[in-house]
Copies of this chain bind each other. A is one copy, B any other.
Amino acid sequence: MPDTEILSPMQMALAEARAAADRGEVPVGAVVVRAGRVIASAGNRTRELNDPTAHAEMLAVRAACERVGDERLTGCDLHVTLEPCPMCAGAISFARIRRLYFGAADPKGGAVENGVRLYASPTCHHAPEVYGGMAEGEAAALLRNFFRERRGV
């Protein structure tokens, strides 16, 4: 019997994004995986925490570092529903994340395939392997619906 309850890391990140939307936060979610296990997950909490740095990726990276007791997450992978911004892309590099999987591209705010394309810069000292467009439709729809509803208020 197939175990249909096991979510992929990106499905877990999407669940974090939906939970963020329910809290009135921009719906972005992220999880950190090490050796096939999720070791941290987070959704965006910038409003709740009054903290402009509290993007999903930042919170997930910080929680994972706390869990492993190291400021480097060598061998760990990050799954996030939206293309990271410059701040998060920088943190992902500092944390030595091995692979970055992201959902929707972000032409206006992204810094991986768009904007400053941080990992292509000669001053970026660690670049993860990057896999974009994971569950892209769902990740983008979450954001679109969130902003549509807010405009309607």
Residues of A within 8 A of B (CB): 46-47, 49-53, 58, 61-62, 65-66, 69-72, 85-91, 93-95, 107-111, 114-118, 121, 123-125
Chain A interface main SS type:
loop
- What would 17 more interface pairs be, CB under 8 Å, given A51-B66, A86-B86, A109-B123? A49-B71, A51-B65, A51-B71, A52-B65, A52-B94, A86-B89, A86-B111, A86-B124, A87-B88, A87-B90, A87-B94, A107-B123, A110-B123, A111-B116, A114-B123, A116-B118, A116-B121
**A116:B86 contact, CB within 8 angstroms:** yes
Shortest CB–CB separation between residue A43 and chain B, in angstroms?
A: 15
**Residue in contact with A123 in the complex, picked from B50, B70, B108, CB distance below 8 Å:** B108
**Residue in contact with A70 in the complex, picked from B50, B58, B88, CB distance below 8 Å:** B50
Residues of chain B within 8 A of A52, CB atoms compared: 61, 65, 71-72, 91, 94-95
Residues of chain B within 8 A of A70, CB atoms compared: 50
Closest to A66 in B: B50
Residues of chain B within 8 A of A51, CB atoms compared: 62, 65-66, 71
**Residue in contact with A115 in the complex, picked from B53, B91, B95, B123, CB distance below 8 Å:** B123
A117 and B123 CA atoms in complex are apart in Å by: 11
